[in-house]
């Protein structure tokens, strides 16, 4: 005995033609947009020169403060006192008004007050994006 299965006709009413048209229109739009961008960049123009010219978007370099076991602040290979570090941080804040990222690395044997002093100097100079780093422990902690 044959079983009759009623098939729904809801999918018969779905017309795919408008959806395909929309996909083709989007494809054409993006192809034309990228073509205009290529043409704009390939124009042969001689730009004026400026001695202080910089790119429109330049990534901010990370500023690293190293604190050795004796509590000396080392920035770019130069040893600074707390007052000297204050000047260096003020200059870094002036060079990057959008926000300078500061990384504070300290020796494990250093008194924590030196790290707090570095953080305080960062905050004093308006540098809010700072982080104190630590080395990952290789031992498994239970």
Asked if 101 and 129 count as a contact pair (C-beta separation under 8 A), the reply is yes
Q: Domain for residue 107, yes or no?
A: yes
Domain with 82 in it: what CATH number?
Answer: 3.30.420.270
pTM score, two decimals?
A: 0.55
Q: How confident is the model at residue 54 (pLDDT cuts 50, 70, 90)?
A: low
Asked if 68 and 97 count as a contact pair (C-beta separation under 8 A), the reply is no
pLDDT tens readout for residues 107-125: 888 888 999 999 999 999 9
Is pLDDT above 60 for 4? yes
Number of domains in the chain: 1
- Give the range of the structural domain holding residue 101, as residue numbers without chain letter: 63-132
């Amino acid at each position: 005995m044959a079983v009759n299965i009623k098939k729904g006709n809801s999918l018969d009413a779905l017309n795919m033609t408008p959806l395909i048209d929309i996909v083709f229109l989007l494809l054409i739009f993006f192809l034309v947009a990228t073509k205009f961008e290529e043409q704009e960049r390939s124009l042969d123009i001689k730009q004026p020169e400026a001695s202080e010219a910089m790119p429109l978007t330049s990534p901010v370099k990370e500023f690293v403060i190293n604190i050795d076991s004796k509590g000396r602040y080392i920035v770019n290979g130069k040893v600074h006192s707390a007052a000297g570090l204050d000047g260096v941080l003020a200059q870094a804040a002036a060079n990057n008004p959008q926000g300078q990222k500061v990384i504070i690395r300290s020796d494990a044997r250093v008194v924590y007050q030196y790290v707090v002093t570095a953080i305080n100097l960062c905050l004093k100079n308006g540098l809010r994006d700072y982080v104190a780093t630590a080395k990952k422990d290789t031992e498994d902690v239970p």
